[in-house]
Structure 1
Amino acid sequence: MFPQTLGIDFGTSNTAAGVMAGDRPYLIEVEPGQTTLPTSVFFDTQRKVTTYGSAANAALIDGREGRFMRALKSVLGTPLMRERRQVAYETLTLIEVVARFLRTIRERAETATGLSLKHAVSGRPVLFHSKDAARNEQALVDLREAYGIAGFDSVEFLFEPEAAALAAGTTKGLGLIVDIGGGTSDFSIFTRENDETKIIASHGVRVGGTDFDKSISLARVMPLLGRGAEIRNDMGPGTYIAPNAIYNDMASWEKIPFQYNAETRRMATVFAKQGIDKALFQRLYDTLDLELGHDIAFAVERGKIMVNKPDASDAAIDLSVLEPNLRAKMTNTLLRDTLSDHGAAIRQCAIETLQRADITPDKINSVVFVGGSSLMHVVRDEMQGLFPDARFVDSEAFTAVASGLAIAAAAADGRR
Structure 2
Amino acid sequence: MAQRGPVLGLDFGTSNSAAGYLCNGAPRLIGMGPGQTTLPSTFFFNFDTRKTLIGEAANQALLDGIEGRFMRALKRVLGTPLMHEERQILNERVTFVDIIARFLNHIKTRAEAQAGTRFDRVLSGRPVVFHGLNDPREAGAEADLRACYRAAGFDEVDFMPEPEAAAIASGALEQTGEVGLIVDIGGGTSDFSVFRSTPDGVSVLANHGVRIGGTDFDRAISIERVMPLLGKGSELRKVMGPGASPVPNAIFNDLATWEKIPFLYTPQTRRMVAELVQMAFEREKLGRLANLLENELGHEVAFAVERGKIAANAGHGTSVIALDQIERGLCAALPPEALSACLAAHARMLGTGLRETLGFAGIGAADIDRVIYVGGSSLMSVVSDVVKAECPDARHSFSEVFTAVTDGLAIAAARG
Q: Shorter-chain TM-score: what band? A: over 0.9
Instruction: List alignment gaps of at least 5 residues for structure 2.
Output: none
Q: Distance in 1 between matches of 2:383 and 2:249?
A: 28
Which AA in structure 2 matches 1:376? Answer: M
Q: Which residue matches 2:358? A: 354
Distance 1:308 1:139 in 2: 32
Indicate if the aligned counterparts of 1:225 and 1:280 stay in contact, CA closer than 8 A.
yes
Flag the 1:281–1:32 CA change in 2: closer, same or farther, 3 A.
same
Q: What is the letter of the counterpart of residue 71 of structure 1?
A: A
Q: Is the counterpart of residue 393 in structure 1 residue 382 in structure 2? A: no
* 1:342 match: 346
Secondary structure of the residue aligned to 1:269 is helix
Q: Secondary structure at the match of 1:333?
A: helix
**Out of 7, 10, 14, which is 1:8 matched to?**
10
Query: 1:172-222: per-residue Cα shift (whole Å, max 9, x none)?
Result: 611100000000000111122237222111111101000000000000000
1:411 equivalent in alignment to 2:411: no
Return the alpha-carbon distance in structure 2 between the equivalents of residues 344 and 288 of structure 1.
34
Please tell me the root mean square deviation across aligned C-alpha atoms, in Å.
Answer: 1.3
Provide the residue aligned with 1:203 in structure 2. Answer: 208
Is 1:190 paired with 2:208? no
Match of 1:328 in 2: 332
Deviation digits for residues 251-298 of structure 1, max 9, x if unmatched? 000100111011111111011111100000001101111000000000
CA positional deviation for 1:411: 2.3
Question: Helix, strand or coil for the counterpart of 1:34?
Answer: coil
C-alpha distance after superposition, 1:155-177 (max 9, x if no partner): 10111111101101155611100
Alignment partner of 1:42 is 2:47: no
CA deviations on 1:368-392 (whole Å, 9 max, x unpaired) are: 0000010001111101110011110
Other structure's SS at 2:397 match: strand
Deviation of the 1:115 alpha carbon? 1.1
Secondary structure at the residue paired with 1:192?
Answer: strand
**Alpha-carbon distance in structure 2 between the residues aligned to 1:385 and 1:314:** 25
Question: Are 1:260 and 2:262 matched, yes or no?
Answer: no
The alpha carbon displacement at 1:2 in A equals 8.7
Offset, 1:3: 5.4
User: Residues of 1 paired with 2:259 and 2:327: CA distance?
Assistant: 24
Paired AA for residue 65 in structure 1: E
Change (3 A) 1:285 1:28: same
Residue 249 of structure 1 is matched in structure 2 by: 254
The alpha carbon displacement at 1:235 in A equals 2.7
Please give the secondary structure, in 2, of the residue aligned with 1:63.
coil
Query: How many correspondences in the alignment?
Result: 411
The match for 2:371 among 360, 367, 372 is: 367
> Is the CA contact 1:174–1:191 (under 8 Å) kept in the aligned structure 2?
yes
Counterpart secondary structure, 2:71: strand
Amino acid paired to 1:218? I
Q: Is the 8 A contact 2:5 2:121 kept in 1?
A: no
Residue aligned with 2:202, SS: strand
Q: How does 1:12-411 map to 2 (within 5 A)?
A: 12-130=14-132, 133-169=135-171, 173-194=178-199, 196-310=201-315, 312-411=316-415
Contact map agreement 1:30 1:109 (CA 8 A) in 2:
no
Structure 1 residues not aligned, in runs of 5+? none
Q: Pick closer, same or farther for the CA change 1:290–1:132 going to 2, 3 Å.
A: farther
Equivalent AA in structure 2 for residue 238 of structure 1: G
Structure 2 distance, partners of 1:242, 1:137, is 38
TM normalised by structure 2 equals: 0.96
Identity over the aligned pairs, expressed in percent?
51
CA distance in 1, matches of 2:216, 2:119: 34
Q: CA deviation at 1:33?
A: 2.3
User: Per the alignment, in what secondary structure is the counterpart of residue 133 of structure 1?
Assistant: coil
Which sits farther off after the overlay, 227-236 or 43-52? 227-236
Distance (whole Å) between structure 1 residues aligned to residue 133 and residue 159 of structure 2:
21
- Offset from partner CA, 1:276-335 (integer Å, 9 cap, x none): 00000001101111000000000000000001014x111110101111000100011100
| Structure 2 Cα separation of the partners of residues 100 and 234 of structure 1 | 49
Encode CA deviations 1:67-112: one digit per residue, 9 max, x unaligned: 1000000111111111111224432111111111111110111111
What is the TM-score of this pair, normalised by structure 1?
0.96
1:359 is paired with a residue whose SS is coil
Residues 131, 232 of structure 1: alpha-carbon distance in 2 compared, 3 angstrom cutoff: farther
SS class of match (2:164): helix
- 2:136 is paired with a residue of what secondary structure? helix
CA contact (8 A) 2:7 2:119 kept: yes
Is 107-116 or 230-239 further displaced after alignment? Answer: 230-239
- Quick check: 43-52 or 208-217, which moved more? 43-52
| Distance change >3 Å, CA 90–CA 238, structure 1 → 2 | farther
Using the TM superposition, give the Cα deviation of residue 132 of structure 1 relative to its aligned residue in structure 2, in angstroms.
5.7
Deviation at 1:23, TM superposition (A): 1.4
